[in-house]
Amino acid sequence: MVAVFAAVAVRQLSGRGPGIWLLFVGGGAAAVLLGALSPIGAATTLANDAPLLLFLFALFLFATALEAAGALDHLARWLIGRARRASDLPAVLFLGFGIVSAFLVNDALVLIGVPVLLALARRLRTGARPLLMVLAFSVTVGSALTPFGNPQNLLVSVQSGIPSPFVTFLRYLLVPTAINLAVGAVYLRRLYGPRMPSDAGTVVRGQDEPSALLPSGGWSTRLGRFPVLAIFPATLAAIVAVDLLAAVSRGPVVPSWEVAGAGAVVLLAASPARSRIVRGIQWEVLLLFAGLFVVVAAASAGGVVAGLGRILPVPGPGHPLFDLLGIAGTSLVGSQLVSNVPWVGLQVSVLHHLGYGGTPAVPWLALAGASTLAGNVTLLGAASNLIVVQLAERAGVPIRLGTFVRDGLPLAALTVGVLVACLWLGL
């Protein structure tokens, strides 16, 4: 485990070497070959975690189909058109992308957001770096709200055992996320607003951004070509409805992954371009999770997780304030070393070993929220940051680590402070 996590850290810092997914797949294979985990143990681990992999597959399938339909591009351009003054553009982008990222995996959202903002910067005749950093900051803050906003939230929602994950996330994270979106919008408007060209509002309104969020007419043809436009919102509504019903009635719970999986099956059956959609899925992320599960299972079998439980400053259930501070603090630091998804994968096992169950939910939400918001500390803290950086560098717009830390660290400190305060006060 040390070798795998060290390789990930070096890969994050240097920007060179095998993909992170390949490091975890190789680490999982090594764990089995070296006898740290038996082949049957690895197969059992993957079978137990199959619901999370299926849930993530369904979300990536929807995101790929929405991108193919042009829905994400249309939404991004509509958001840009909401700016009325030059200085408003960073705040509008931050709020818009942040809200959307709560309902769509943030890694998929930045894939379409970067090209749109690069094109906008060219039209405005201004540097693209501030716009791209706004995008990175926004999808980090906004995606903290729901179980399907990012992979680490999904990991917590499925493996922690918290009841009614969507309702639970909304109950505890709606207030801090709303505050953080407002605080972030004000902060970035003050930081980047003066850098926008004076005619930015006029240029944006004078271009071809869609004036309506939902285009009028032609919906029968549009839905025939792109059934995801109806199936995705219907699946999302079904997940929320099932979760709410379980929370209210306290009856049998239909797992969210089953609802998402059913929606994915319907989408594949109804989509004319299903082969293109399947090819566009981020398969490497699914392989990363599979390798991560095996590595963590081997570490648990070998006593590493128990050892970390004794070292980390998390006292165990029964110490609410120290739980919050310990989990948030270690998540902020650990996410910078190996990125937030691998850190959460390890921490879930550590917290279970320390005795944390599905209730109370606050420690798990501290883990999900703090590890997510840790993505605004450095470029290394979140996979979505690395996607933005890679796409920006290909376009000749380098984003330096020092610049990101200078602008992102104050935002991360503010948002994590709000998160911990709200969870402690029960808001």
Find the distance separating the first CA and the last CA of the chain, reported in whole Å: 38
| Tokens 């994400």 -> residue | 72
The per-residue pLDDT for 185 is 97
CA distance 113 to 115: 6
Q: Is 90 within 8 Å of 249 (Cβ atoms)?
A: no
Query: What letter represents residue 12's amino acid?
Result: Q
| Tokens 């407002």 -> residue | 182
The per-residue pLDDT for 199 is 65
Query: What letter represents residue 1's amino acid?
Result: M
**Structural domain contains residue 279:** no
Cα dihedral across residues 401, 325, 367, 293: positive or negative:
positive
The per-residue pLDDT for 215 is 78
CA distance 153 to 145: 9
pTM: 0.86
The per-residue pLDDT for 206 is 58
**Structural domain contains residue 421:** yes
**Structural domain contains residue 350:** yes
**Structural domain contains residue 254:** no
| 198 to 13, 41, 190, 211, 307: CA distances (angstroms) | 37, 62, 15, 22, 57
| 368 to 24, 38, 78, 141, 157: CA distances (angstroms) | 21, 30, 30, 12, 9
* Tokens read off for 33: 């070959």
**Structural domain contains residue 117:** yes
**Structural domain contains residue 291:** yes
* Tokens read off for 400: 């330096």
| 335 to 74, 295, 395: CA distances (angstroms) | 33, 17, 27
Q: CA 373: distance to chain centroid?
A: 10
| 240 to 51, 168, 235, 248, 267: CA distances (angstroms) | 18, 11, 9, 12, 19
**Structural domain contains residue 339:** yes
CA distance 94 to 38: 47
Any idea what the Cα angle at residue 198 is, between residues 192 and 204, rounded to 5°?
A: 90
CA distance 235 to 226: 15
Contacts of 254 (CB under 8 A, 6+ apart): 242, 246
**Structural domain contains residue 239:** no
**What is the block-wise mean pLDDT of the chain (427 residues), using blocks of 10 residues?**
82 74 91 93 91 88 89 82 83 94 87 88 88 96 94 90 91 97 96 82 59 77 91 92 82 81 94 89 84 87 80 77 89 85 88 88 95 92 85 86 93 96 91
Domain, as residue range, for 408 = 2-52+87-200+285-425
The per-residue pLDDT for 211 is 64
How many separate domains does the chain show? 1
The per-residue pLDDT for 174 is 97
